Structure 1
Amino acid sequence: MSDRYTDIQKRAAYDLIDGIMRIQQDTGVYRHLTCGAPASWTRLTVITWPYNLLVAGSHGSFHFERQGDDTLDMLDWLRRVRVDPAHWAGKLTNGRHSVEEYDRDRLEGLIHERVSEAVRDDWAPVGLREAVSELLADDWMDDQQSAMRLVGEFQHGMTYRSECSCGAFEDHRSYTSAVCWGNVFHKQSGDDHKVTVHETGGFTFDDVFDWQISKLDYHFVYQCYALKWAIARYDRMNRYGLGSLAAPKQVTS
């Protein structure tokens, strides 16, 4: 379990320590459970029906659906598994993406990892760390799309070679210069003078758009732990015959 998940688990446990559960409905797999924690003002609602579960309250609403032989009663499934927000997110009706958010810390970690690899393997251009520090200081790094564009376009210490099919070549520090050499300075006619340009050195970030730079929303993770708490409290109340005490009082005229 990550430190972040541990902290959220502790927060949920603290908020719900004085939680009072009410069983609004308890008919087979049809349930409606509510909870209020006076000290933290935390509210929690759990509703189940075949293959479905809704958890709602102070930290948002999340609807799970899981079709399977063991999920007619969603509580039975959840009782058998540990809290796993990353796995549970895949069971949301709105999809995992609905509870993902940009994780700048993870992006910076991947950037530093690749820079360290270049330095360790002794192919990092001079001044790479300084150039990357300037990149990370850019305010646009706070926005995911802008950050990915900046990282994807980052280049440092690039070198290029213009090479002609006749055997002539020249090295350059810019792509524009390399192209100009072929189009202007080495302009020749005929099939024997075909110029190509290729990179010979420098640093870029590869496969940037394959990087995983998201994390699960705080409130979703919180509700996962709150849900596990609610199931344990519901089971304990039924185990000790307290379910009827938690049922809403019938009003008679």
Structure 2
Amino acid sequence: MTAYPEIAARFARETASHEMTVLHDDGLYRHLRFKPKEHSFYWFDLITTPGQLVFSGDGDSFVFRRLTDMFEFFRSGLMRDGSIEINPVYWSEKLVSERDNVQKYQEDLFIKLVWEQANHLIEQEHVKPEQADRFRQAIKDDIVEGGLCGTADEAYRTVEEFEFYNDPSKEFDYRFQPDVRFEDAWEWFNATKDFDWWFLWVCRAIVWGIARYDRVRGYGLATLAAPKLETPAKASDLTVYRASHGSIVMGHYTSRQAAMDHVHGVLANEEGGDVTARVIWRADDPEVDEPEWECWLFDDDMSDDSPTGYVVTPLEVASAYDPDADE
């Protein structure tokens, strides 16, 4: 049975009309885009360079490192019957980008753990048997229903502040200490975290995208997945690509890749070495056929990325004078 079936169902629903576009495919250097034609909801890119895979899309981005060919690494999630089995525990260990968003506090897990700890306290007779019902009601009133549990900080503070007296007459007498407190909350509170739905979605998207890529190549249909901008232009059309930084024009090229290569070369001089593995190109509008591409660069430890200010802009050059065109 597929792990995380609710994520599998959600992913299938949200990618039902996704199409694959091969923006770049040269050995271990790949850039694949998956999105529906009619909108950009849940679009995502898979970008590989030797030794790493970058997932970028309609949510948090992730960078994985393990094998020289990271497609080979993630193919372990594709079963012989064509089904997908993700391994978020192992795969999250291969992240070199920020991991804080991989696992998040889950309120339902917190409530479950509180009841487990409450029952343990009753079994250990920290709560007197005749006070068990009143204790459970106090848990319900002060934590489960009446406490602040929406965030991890709020939930931890709520259990830390909880107090229970077996003799209710002592509750407001400063001479007596509470009989029950969650003094060991720090030992079990970390179990209130689970994998965030988006990371599970991403894991599934990576395997699904690789399987689709493999299938297209296996059937010899790779050219059908090439972007429209790579098809030969009509004699009357010409698109050139401008590499620039702010108002500084670096050059014009007949291919987008050549313009991007110019940017890579400039960044290599600025950074003191090849930056190809740290670069991500992002379209300013994924819905158009010829978007402007913005260059982002990961820092040395691949934990964060930021815009470089370099862009590659498609420019349409007219082949003849049009007197009706705007002046």
TM-score range, shorter chain: 0.7 to 0.9
> Residue 72 of structure 1 aligns to a residue in which SS?
coil
Query: What is residue 203 of structure 1 aligned with on the other side?
Result: 180
What is the RMSD of the two structures over their aligned residues, measured on CA atoms?
Answer: 2.7
Matched letter for residue 250 of structure 1: T
Secondary structure (helix, strand or coil) at the match of 1:204 reads: coil
Secondary structure at the aligned position of 1:53 is classed as strand
Q: In 2, Cα distance between the equivalents of 1:219 and 1:75?
A: 20
For the residue of structure 1 that corresponds to 2:201, the secondary structure is: helix
- State the match for 1:105 in structure 2: 108
Cross-structure match for 2:163: 155
Measure, in 2, the Cα distance between the counterparts of 1:244 and 1:51: 26
**Whose helix proportion is higher, 1 or 2?**
1
Deviation at 1:140, TM superposition (A): 2.2
Give the distance between the partners of 2:73 and 2:23, measured in 1 at CA. 22
Q: 1:39 to 1:205 in 2, by over 3 A?
A: farther
CA displacement at 1:18 relative to structure 2? 2.7
Q: In the aligned structure 1, how far is the partner of 2:2 from the partner of 2:183? A: 27
Q: Which residue of 2 aligns with 1:31?
A: 30
Give the aligned partner of residue 76 of structure 2.
80
Please say if 1:93 is aligned against 2:100.
no
- Contact 2:14–2:42, Cα closer than 8 Å, also in 1: yes
> Structure 1 residues 39 and 85 mapped into 2: Cα distance closer, same or farther (>3 Å)?
farther
**Kept after mapping to 1: 8 A contact 2:74/2:206:** no
Output the amino acid matched with 2:71.
L
Alpha carbons of 1:149 and 1:42: their partners in 2 closer, same or farther (altered >3 Å)? closer
**Which deviations, in whole Å up to 9, do the C-alpha atoms of 1:100-132 show, x marking residues without a partner?**
322111111111011122334554241211111
Deviation track 1:170-212 (CA, whole Å, cap 9, x = no partner) reads xx8789426xxxxxxxxxxxxxxxxxxxx8x822224212322
Q: Structure 1 residue 65 and structure 2 residue 71: aligned? A: no
How far, CA to CA, are the matches of 1:11 and 1:104 in structure 2? 21
- Answer whether contact 1:59 1:220 (CA < 8 A) is retained: no
8 Å CA contact 1:55–1:63 kept in 2: the answer is yes
Tell me the SS of whatever aligns to 1:150: helix
Q: Which residue of 1 aligns with 2:52?
A: 52
Q: Give aligned-pair identity as a percent.
A: 28
Q: Counterparts of 1:60 and 1:99 in 2: how far apart (Å)?
A: 10
Is there any run of 5+ residues in structure 1 with no aligned partner, and where? 160-171, 179-198
> Aligned equivalents of 2:35 and 2:172: distance in 1?
65
| Contact persistence 1:59–1:223 (CA under 8 A) | no
Alignment of 1:156-235 (within 5 A): 156-157=164-165, 176-177=174-175, 202-210=179-187, 211=189, 212-235=191-214
Check if 1:142 corresponds to 2:150. yes
TM-score after normalising by structure 1: 0.74
Give the C-alpha shift of residue 150 in structure 1.
1.9
Contact 1:90 1:96 in 2 (8 A): no
- C-alpha deviations, 1:128-150, integer Å up to 9, x for none? 11111112223522232122022
Q: 2: distance between equivalents of 1:175 and 1:53?
A: 62
Q: Does 1:128 align with 2:135?
A: yes
Residue 251 of structure 1: aligned partner: 232
Q: TM-score, normalised by structure 2?
A: 0.59
Gapped regions of structure 2 (runs ≥ 5): 78-84, 239-327
2:118 aligned residue: 115
Number of residue pairs aligned between Structure 1 and Structure 2: 215
Rounded to whole Å, the distance in 2 between the matches of 1:247 and 1:52 is 23
